[in-house]
Amino acid sequence: MKSRTILFVALFSIVAGGCGGGGTTNIDIRNDDGKAVMALDYRDFDQAASEMVQSMISSGALKKQGGGRYVVATGRIVNDTMQRIDTDQLMAKIEEELMNSGQVVMTSAVGSGTDALVHETRELRDSEEFDQNTIAKRGTLIAPELSISGKIFQRNLRYDKNKQQVEYYFQLKLSDATSGLRYWQKESLIGKRGSNSSVAW
């Protein structure tokens, strides 16, 4: 009887222990009061993207002479940080805002945002299985007029004996695809200072 009670108590403890763990909570991503972390989190990307969009729009570089919208392609965004970052985390926000501004239309035909199906459907031109009238004709793709490229890089510095400083640089530039001239560029810096024991990657 005693051993059965001990077994029951032990089993209950294991189950109860596995259920606790501090409890998971959803992040209030609209008004997040959470502490800053040494690595890049979504708030940093939100802030960088917002700064970039506002700067790009206010520069007037996206306002097409004579009206209409620019066709923009996303080029290479280099991740030169110690973290595994999908650079789309930054560019998806920027592209979305730029398109919603009504000043540009993004292309999925070329660049890092390429949609493979745009090209795959064109390979069906000789297929008898497909109605050839429904397949895109030659010379129908629109080339980009502007391209966005950039880089995210990180510098780690020793601040003092117990603290480190991590600097994250977001750099973007907007170039004319025809002339190669650069119409806009911006660097956004996010700096963090914290314990040496915190890992920034």
Partner 1 sequence: MRILTVLCVLLMVLSVGCGSPSKDARVNARRGVGSDSLANNVITRPIRDAFEGLIGAGIVIDDAVVNRNNSSNFLQVFVSGHNKSSKTKRFRYRVEWLDADGMVIETKASVWQRMSAMGKSPFQIKCVAPRAEAVNFRMDTRKWE
Q: In this structure, what are the phi and psi dihedrals at residue 32, rounded to the nearest 5 degrees?
A: -80, 115
Instruction: For residue 145, state whether it binds partner 1 (rule: CB under 8 A).
Output: no
187 binds partner 1 (CB under 8 A): no
* Residues contacting 160, CB < 8 A, separation 6+: none
Distance CA(83)–CA(66), nearest Å, equals 43
Q: Among residues 82, 87, 97, 114, which is the contact residue for partner 1, using CB under 8 A? A: 97
Among 13, 83, 101, 132, binds partner 1 (CB under 8 A): 101
Of 37, 59, 112, 198, which one interacts with partner 1 (CB under 8 A)?
Answer: 59
- 93 forms part of the interface with partner 1 (CB under 8 A): yes
Cα–Cα distances in angstroms (integers) from residue 124 to residues 117, 127, 130, in the given order: 11, 5, 7
Contacting residue, 2, 35, 138, 161, with partner 1 by CB under 8 A: 35
Rounded least distance, CB 58 to partner 1, Å? 4
**49 contacts partner 1 (rule: CB under 8 A):** yes
Contact between 46 and partner 1 per CB under 8 A:
yes
| Residue type at position 139 | G
CB 87 within 8 A of CB 168: no
Considering the complex, state which of residue 43 and residue 119 has its C-beta at the smaller distance from partner 1.
43
* Residue 91: strand, helix, or coil: helix
When binding is defined by CB under 8 A, the residue of 12, 13, 14, 60 that contacts partner 1 is 60
What is the β-pairing status of strands 146-158 and 163-176? antiparallel
Does residue 83 belong to the site contacting partner 1 (CB under 8 A)? no
Alpha-helical regions (H) of the chain: 2-19, 42-59, 88-100, 116-120
Residue (97 or 111) nearer to partner 1, CB: 97
Considering only 6-14, 20-28, 39-47, 140-148, which stretch makes contact with partner 1 by CB under 8 A? 39-47
